[in-house]
Structure 1
Amino acid sequence: MVSSHKRELTLTAAGLALIAVSYGLARYAYGLFAPTLRAEFDLDGGTLGAIAAGSYVAYCLAVAASTAITARWGARAGALAAGTTATTGTALIAAAPSAALLTLGVVLAGASTGLASPSLADAVSRTVRVTRRDRAQTVVNAGTGLGVLVSGPVALLAVGDWRLAWWAFAATSALVTLWIARVVAPGGQAKPGDGLPVPLFPPATGRLLPAAAMLGLASAAIWTFGRDIAVGIGGLGETESTVVWIVLGASGLIGAFTAELTSRAGLRRTWSAGMVLFAVATALFALATRSLPALIVAAALFGAVYIGLTSVLILWGTRAYPASPAFGVGVAFLMLALGQAAGAPLIGFLGDVADLRVGFLAAAVMALLGVLFAPPEQTTTYNFGIRSLSRVSSVPPQRESRAGCA
């Protein structure tokens, strides 16, 4: 039996919090502290990018692990693994005496995101009514913006002692993990004998996978070097550059409304418009680096569009694999992370041999190319509990799962 509305709301709130600590704190706060870490550990741009790439590779491995864990033991096991890994990784970063241990912490912290997304997508798909499911998925995914938003003020409060900020991140991650343990029930998992989905790569993945990879390539610039370029080239101070980061996170909360947007415009139009705006935001970082107002606009645009586009990937992935939502989100986010893993060191290298602005412009071009992989249009109809809406999607509608959490 599908869970009560109160239980759905509680799961959505806890899921949003887990995404906030794993993505916004454990993973993307690395970019916020990049200038400080560069000075603290005497790192060049290529090394900063390589460490970030290690985080993305760990994410790739964790996605595969989370998909297997969720299928075998249920969404709760995957979500708890995500929270535990986020706590361990952020604590290691806080205590790191060397670049080697810093790298280990960043890698573990990055792995938490790969564990979180598939398990939470599965929990939402199996617990939330179909009429509210898309909204719940996109609200949970908007947790990235919340985490980034929180990390900025924490960094300002801990100015002069960056380790204190990371200890705060670790403590927050631990508290959220305890909440997840109470909210995500152990029941509702797939049977232990369940295998890979058949077909393994349905037709919808022909566009889904390269689209996700292009978004990953393009997003590596701002996530890894956004604050670095604002400080190193734009000349912004500690407070100004952190404000840019806070704006990025706050605007990411707009991504919670992606379900409503796609219900009207469809996945294809939403994706295409989003990638164009994404390119504009990335190019602004390169072309208007010394203008604080322009960077604030660029950060706001990037935050809203990035969370929106990753929400599209979640909706697209769960439709491509209606019987295996964790697998659908897993393969989409795996390609996203592979793109980021390739993009981070490449952009760092371009910054070392030429200028970071060259890397950002290259990332903007990647975003424009991502428009080519927009999902094909196919009209279906969904009801969001308010009124019926015409939806444009890339695959036929999924049936409501009857497997609820105990």
Structure 2
Amino acid sequence: MAPRGPTIAHEKTARGLSAAGFAATLLTYGPARVGFGLFLPQLRATFGIEGGASGTIASIGFAGFLAGLVGAGELGERLGGARPVLIGLICSTLGVAVVAFAGDVVVLAAGVALAMLGPGLTWSPFNNLVHDGLREFRRPGALSIISTGTSLGIALAGGAALVASWHEISWRWAWVFFALVGLGALAVNARLLTAVAPAPKRQHRELWKSVLRTLATPLYAIAFSFGVTTSIWITFAARTVEDAGGLTGLPTNGSAAAIFIAAGLAGLAGIGTARTRGLIGLPALVAGLMLASAISAILVAIAPASWPAVMASAALQGVFIMMMSAVLSVWSERIFPGSSLLGFTAALIFLAGGSVAGPSLAGHAYDAFGPEAVFISLAALSLASCALALPRIVKLR
């Protein structure tokens, strides 16, 4: 009979990585990433920020996300595989705390950027930890649990916003709550992750040349488009709905909360990404997701005060965010066999670049042309991206 020790050790590692990743993404890809857009109606009233300014602040935040992505690999090599995650959680926790007590727009922007460092510092390191620490058959389950943290984190942020609006509590208390969630996530990761994280594997500098492939162009184009569209939706969807009068039956600013609760819960469908890809293939899945993004944007543009339209938009966006994130990972593996983690990081950098560019441009367009023009433009971008990428990835079915 084979010894049980190694099997038990692998199970413990899988449980530890899964639990730590769930806790980390609950904060970093929940309140830290979507909190600014979720609370934009209240932040706008408190700090007097209009579309252009709010878009700039969102872009500054996503610039922190980009900086985290770029710095995560270097920190991983120098400090160890688990430490970028811990540093990211510290940044996100401090960032949401800074937002909670911000007294002016400059401090607010600094807090948003600091909070957004966390998602960038944790995404690729967790993929590396799962890839290096778990056997292949355990990786999908661990990654599914970790990704679930994102959906529930978004729903948690929406729930906190709904409680604050329903009971007429200051938005600042919700951000204090997010900081406490961050302390909890940091404690969980400090206890579990450091115990089970494998030793980091060094990558050679010249490997970055491998991501410069013609075959990767559609992947990078879709990642950039994904970053543009989802960052703008996250930043401006709630404000658009609130500006249109909100959803009937909800208190002031309660519509924003309902939107993100719906998006987070619908995002749980991301767990079925692998099964869906197996049924319809990668090209059809990419096309379907870009179509979902387009419909999500159109619904906000044409019916921002309609319960069915807004909830459908939020659900489609939640599915789009979660499934497309998984698709980028799978697509990278197809294009970069042997260096898929590096290719995935490159795709994430394009995603972050789109996230930086999108909100700032959309903020000024929001002021000049109105929300309808912004969201119709998003729909057009998603449809154009679908038409660009689909013919080129048929061979990857």
The alignment's TM-score, normalised by the length of structure 2, stands at 0.90
Report the Cα offset of residue 320 of structure 1: 3.7
The alpha-carbon distance between structure 1 residues 9 and 257, as it changes in their structure 2 partners (threshold 3 A), is farther
Partner residue, 1:384: none
Q: 1:314 to 1:74 in 2, by over 3 A?
A: farther
Q: Give, in whole Å, the separation in 1 of the partners of 2:213 and 2:133.
A: 25
The match for 2:290 is: 275
Cα distance, 1:21 vs structure 2: 0.5
Tell me how far apart the structure 1 counterparts of residues 287 and 77 of structure 2 sit (CA, whole Å).
Answer: 33
Q: Where does structure 1 lack aligned partners over 5 or more consecutive residues?
A: 380-391, 393-406
Q: Indicate which of 254, 279, 300 corresponds to 1:285.
A: 300
1:264 matched to 2:273: no
Could you give the per-residue CA deviations for residues 44-95 of structure 1, whole angstroms, max 9, x where no partner exists?
1110000000011111111110022223433201111111111111111011
Task: Judge conservation of contact 2:238–2:255 (CA < 8 Å) in 1.
Answer: no
Q: Which residue of 2 aligns with 1:398?
A: none
- Name whichever of 62-71 and 48-57 sits farther off: 62-71
The 1:137–1:373 alpha-carbon spacing in structure 2 relative to 1, beyond 3 Å, is farther
Change (3 A) 1:174 1:325: farther
Task: Determine which of 331, 337, 356 is the counterpart of 2:352.
Answer: 337
- 2:389 aligns to what? 373
Partner of 2:16 in structure 1? 10
2:202 to 183, 186, 191: 191
Who is 2:268 aligned against?
253
Residue in 2 aligned with 1:116?
A: 122
Assess if the C-alpha contact under 8 Å between 1:45 and 1:349 holds in 2. Answer: yes
* 32-41 vs 59-68, which moves further: 59-68
| Residue in 2 that maps onto 1:74 | 80
Distance 2:12 2:60 in 1: 39
Q: For 1:295-328, what per-residue CA distance to the aligned partner results, in whole angstroms no more than 9, with x for missing partners? A: 1111111111221111111222344444445433
Which deviations, in whole Å up to 9, do the C-alpha atoms of 1:114-142 show, x marking residues without a partner?
Answer: 11111011111112321242443344234
Task: Please say which of residues 66-75 and 140-149 is displaced more in the overlay.
Answer: 66-75
- How far apart, in 1, do the equivalents of 2:198 and 2:78 lie? 11
What root-mean-square deviation, in Å, do the aligned CA atoms of Structure 1 and Structure 2 show? 2.1
Equivalent residue for 1:201, pick from 206, 209, 212: 212
**Equivalent residue number for residue 320 of structure 2:** 305
Contact preservation (8 Å) 2:211, 2:342: no
User: Separation in 2 of the partners of 1:154 and 1:125?
Assistant: 34
Residue number in structure 1 paired with 2:365: 350
Cα contact 1:59–1:334 (8 A) shared by 2? no
Shift of 1:42: 0.5
**Unaligned stretches of 5+ residues in structure 2:** 1-5
> Alpha-carbon deviation of 1:268?
1.9
Q: Which residue identity does 2:128 align to in structure 1? A: D
* Paired AA for residue 113 in structure 1: P
Relative to structure 1, the CA distance from residue 136 to residue 186 in structure 2 (aligned partners, 3 Å threshold; closer, same or farther) is closer
Identity %: 29
Amino acid at match of 1:207: P
* 2:41 paired residue number: 35
Aligned residue identity for 1:357: E
Contact 1:58 1:110 (8 Å CA) reproduced? yes
Offset, 1:193 = 6.2
Which residue does 2:186 correspond to in 1? Answer: 177
Report the counterpart of residue 143 of structure 1 in structure 2: 149
Q: Say which is worse superposed, 345-354 or 233-242, in terms of deviation.
A: 233-242
Decide which moves more: 317-326 or 169-178: 317-326
Going from structure 1 to structure 2, the CA distance change for 1:263 and 1:137 (only over 3 Å counts) comes to farther
CA contact (8 A) 2:133 2:197 kept: no
* Amino acid across the alignment from 1:172: V
Confirm whether residue 227 of structure 1 aligns to residue 233 of structure 2.
no
Greater CA deviation, 132-141 or 256-265?
132-141
Contact map agreement 2:218 2:389 (CA 8 A) in 1: yes
2: distance between equivalents of 1:108 and 1:344? Answer: 17
Greater shift, 195-204 or 48-57, is seen at 195-204
Q: Take 1:158 and 1:173, find their aligned partners in 2: how far apart are those partners?
A: 19
TM-score (norm 1): 0.88
SS class of match (2:393): coil
Preserved CA contact (<8 Å) 1:22 1:86? yes
Distance 2:295 2:81 in 1: 37
Change (3 A) 1:218 1:290: same
Task: Report SS of the residue matched to 1:196.
Answer: helix
**Secondary structure of the structure 2 residue equivalent to 1:290:** coil
The 8 Å contact of residues 265 and 318 in structure 2, kept in 1 or not, is answered as yes
**Cα distance per residue 1:349-396 (max 9 Å; x no partner):** 1110121111011011111122122462446xxxxxxxxxxxx3xxxx
Following the alignment from structure 2 to structure 1, what is the Cα–Cα distance between the partners of residues 358 and 208? 30
2:69 aligned to which of 60, 63, 80: 63
Query: In 2 relative to 1, CA 22–35 (structure 1 residues): closer, same or farther, beyond 3 Å?
Result: same
Aligned 8 A contact 2:100 2:176 in 1 = yes
- Is 1:360 the counterpart of 2:371 in the alignment? no
| Deviation, structure 1 residue 209 | 1.0
Taking structure 1 as reference, are residues 42 and 343 closer, same or farther at Cα in structure 2, changes over 3 Å only?
same
Contact 1:72/1:192 (<8 A) preserved: no
CA distance in 2, matches of 1:231, 1:326: 40
**What's the CA shift for 1:213?**
0.2
CA distance in 2, matches of 1:138, 1:272: 22
Structure number having the greater helix percentage? 2
**Which position in structure 1 is the counterpart of 2:3?**
none
Q: Does the CA-based 8 Å contact 1:16-1:141 persist in structure 2?
A: yes
1:89 is matched with which residue? 95
In the alignment, is the contact (CA less than 8 A) between 1:155 and 1:162 conserved in 2?
Answer: yes
Contact 2:246 2:255 in 1 (8 A): no
